[in-house]
Chains A and B, each alone.
Chain A
Amino acid sequence: MNEKKESNRQDQQDDKVQIVLTRRPIDEPFKIFSKHMKKRAKTFIEYQVPSAQDNLKSWITSFRGGIGLMGLILVTFIPLMLNDTVYYHTFIMAMIYSIYAASWDLLSGVSGQVSFGQAAYFGIGGYSCAYFIIYLGFDWFPSIFIGGILAILFGLLVAVPCLRFTGPYLALGTLAFSLLLFNLFHMASLSHIFFGEQGIPVPTLSIFSFKGNIITEFLIVLIIMIICIVVMLAIFNSRLGTIFKAIRDDETSTEAAGINTMRYKLYAFMISAFFAGIAGSFYVLHIGKADYNIYSSLMSFYPIIFTLVGGIALISGSVFGAYFYALTNLFLDELFDFFTQMGFFPEFFNNLPTAFISLIFSIILLILIRFTERGIMEPTIKHSKTLWDLIIGK
């Protein structure tokens, strides 16, 4: 009897499996800890959670990382090399739009709260930044953050009523808020509060402290864009991002798992509004004016389009879509200029400019939305990878 008991206990001990998670670098062994653990367990699995450096290294050496890095280098150095104001303008707008589109993606693609009124936070950020610079005499750098913070407050204001529903009602509620702002800031009779028709004019380049030329602005926006996108990617890959994705995929199960979905949905709105506000501040500083058009439905629509073109629920997709738009716009502009110079088009085509380009772009977008399922960035990357593998002979 006693022997049996002994052997039973021995069996139980033998069957223990201990899994240890550690943050130590992969080649440094445990000394004290493992000896104690090994006494109590028979099977001992040591799993090293990769550190940040390991993550970065593996990302860079992978194909996607290579493309990403190459894209970053191109985006930084092409305008610097071409050194023409037009290219600086295009790339600055692309960067502003990419922060804006990524903020929408974080809210709608990653967290599933589809918002048709992103322009509300974009515009509030812009107007606040302009207000603080012009009327309160702040410097540009704090004003941008103040724009982001006031946008957060407005994001909460919109989120609290709209989050009572899901799906179309939520989208319509956000759309209603942004158009309400559009009308409020447009009305001449409320100009004493809301600035009316002419908005707030802002001195553009001279506002960035040193020298104040467009290269400075380009570099500043570039750095801020990289920081914002990296932060958003970090959120995407973190536990917070996983909760957002869980809420998007199956809200009931997430609630059942004990997560307070309402709180996290509010977080999603707040973070998204913050980045949209930052983008809005830069937009106003670049355009030189904060006017009511910033709240238009077209402006709400841009991030949706950019993200859909690039690939929804990936932050990088929205960046791709924003650049796609800016570069296509530039390309079409140059194409039309070229053709007009060559005399291919009759005289009255000179008056077309922006409407016609917007028209062509909306056709392109309708076709892209209709025929691509998840945007064009992913298939492009996959096909490039296949091509690359072919080239290097795998």
Chain B
Amino acid sequence: MAFVEFLIYGTVLGFILSLLSMGYSLVYGVGGITNLAHGAFYMLTGYVVFWLSNPDYDINLPYNISIIIGLLFITFFGAFIYYALIKPAEHNEILIMIITFALAVFLEQFVSTIEGLQENMMRAIYLDPWLSGSVEILGITFSYQNIVVVTGAFLVIVLTFLFISKTKTGKSIRAVSQDREAAELMGINVDRTLVVTLMISALLAGVAAVLYVPEVDILPISGWDFLLMSMSVVILGGLGSVTGSILGAFIISFARFFTFYYIDTPLGVAFYGVVHLIVIIIVLLIRPQGLFGKKQRT
């Protein structure tokens, strides 16, 4: 029984992490931007959809509309952040890390404040699943939300791949990630490409939130957990490699649940939250470029 749960939860989280880490790795591969606010984007989308749809707050839009508005919001928020914070600090990688870190702290405080205004305590918020109920196949219970997550994530991943390989903007993204100056010389507007990349990254984080929050409640600090998981996936898979991100996502996800279910129970329950951190340290020690890392950004 534990094995089935392990498989289900592992697969679901694997898809979510692949969405998140695809976004993170895209932004790093294209612009050299280490976006430490990536987890905060995830958390922010979840909260925005919650605020829009939950009857406790007075806005109370229908659930589907709030999801669409939430995704649009996070996409344009990503663009806004690029122009306001990231672009002025261009080429200074460490400063960008610090600025995005500051942004992530700010978003966490912001969400805590608004939640604190509504009620006096911090509670984990939840979103209703798209389709409630479950289905039984071969004696195993899958909730509909699990299937929604897997299908939705798979669709989005395929769409992203198609976007990057077929469309003109997608080709500019690949060009800029290979050689920024040459792309500029070829007439590609690098600035616009970076904005689009950041918007895609934010959108992917938003979709991940919309899909996963119904399964696992979130708190303002959850953003950090997902940021670290994305970072560990990207480091394991190799910065700049999308295939590596997806493979790494599933490895980390299954490692996490494996530790939870199968390692000696007290230690396992203890360590499942730090597996990805240990993976980061081990990968950095043994093979810093990750599994499929193609280039080191100097």
Contact = CB atoms under 8 A, between A and B. Distances in A.
Interface of A: 114, 116, 161-162, 164-165, 167-169, 171-173, 176-177, 179-180, 183-184, 187, 189-190, 297-298, 301, 304-305, 308, 348, 351-352, 355-356, 358-359, 362-363, 365-366, 369-370
A370 B228 contact: no
Interface in B240-298: 266-267, 269-270, 273-274, 277-278, 280-281, 284-285, 288
Contacts of A183: 273-274, 277
12 contacts: A168-B34, A169-B288, A171-B97, A180-B278, A183-B277, A187-B270, A351-B120, A359-B106, A359-B110, A365-B102, A366-B102, A369-B95
Contacts of A365: 102
B267 A189 contact: yes
Given A168-B34, A183-B273, A370-B88, 18 more contacts: A161-B284, A165-B284, A171-B97, A172-B231, A172-B280, A180-B277, A180-B278, A301-B101, A304-B98, A351-B116, A351-B120, A355-B109, A355-B116, A359-B110, A362-B106, A366-B102, A369-B99, A369-B102
Contacts, number: 102
B140 interface: no
Contacts of A187: 270, 273
Contacts of A177: 281
B85 interface: yes
Interface in B138-163: none
B269 A168 contact: no
A114 B95 CA distance: 10
A176 B280 contact: yes
B68 interface: no
Given A171-B97, A301-B105, A179 B270 contact: no
Contacts of B266: 189
Contacts of B288: 164-165, 169
A366 B103 contact: yes
Contacts of A348: 117
B161 to A, nearest CB: 26
Nearest to A172: B231
B106 A355 contact: no
A301 B284 CA distance: 22
A172 B97 CA distance: 10
Contacts of B284: 161-162, 164-165, 169, 172-173, 176
A116 B224 CA distance: 14
B106 to A, nearest CB: 4
Contacts of B217: none
Contacts of B93: 167-168
A297 B274 contact: no
A161 B85 contact: no
Contacts of B228: 176, 179
A180 B269 CA distance: 15
Given A176-B277, A183-B274, A304-B98, A359 B109 contact: yes
Q: Is the interface of A mostly helix, strand, loop or mixed?
A: helix
A370 B110 contact: no
B112 interface: yes
Nearest to B120: A351
B94 interface: yes
A297 B37 CA distance: 13
B71 interface: no
B285 A161 contact: yes
A173 B93 CA distance: 15
Q: Is the interface of B mostly helix, strand, loop or mixed?
A: helix
Given A116-B97, A172-B231, A190-B270, A352 B277 contact: no
Interface residues of B, number: 39
Q: Which 5 A-B pairs have the closest CB atoms?
A: A362-B106, A189-B270, A359-B109, A183-B274, A187-B270
A195 to B, nearest CB: 13
B113 interface: yes
A172 B117 CA distance: 34
B198 interface: no
Contacts of A116: 97, 101
Nearest to B268: A189
B98 A298 contact: no
A365 B103 CA distance: 10
Contacts of B273: 183, 187
Contacts of B101: 116, 297, 301, 304
Contacts of B195: none
Contacts of B274: 180, 183-184
A177 B120 CA distance: 33
A337 to B, nearest CB: 18
Nearest to A178: B277
Contacts of B97: 116, 168, 171
A43 to B, nearest CB: 48
Nearest to B122: A355
Nearest to B276: A176
Nearest to A308: B98
A11 B109 CA distance: 77
Contacts of A351: 116-117, 120
B113 A366 contact: no
A183 B275 CA distance: 10
Nearest to B118: A348
Nearest to A361: B109
B235 interface: yes
Contacts of B235: 172
B44 to A, nearest CB: 14
A355 B113 CA distance: 6
Contacts of A355: 109, 112-113, 116
Contacts of A370: 84-85, 88, 99
B160 to A, nearest CB: 24
Nearest to A158: B281
Given A172-B235, A177-B281, A297 B98 contact: no
A298 B105 contact: yes
B280 A362 contact: no
A305 B109 CA distance: 16
A301 B37 CA distance: 14
Contacts of A362: 102, 105-106, 109
Contacts of A359: 106, 109-110, 113
A170 to B, nearest CB: 9
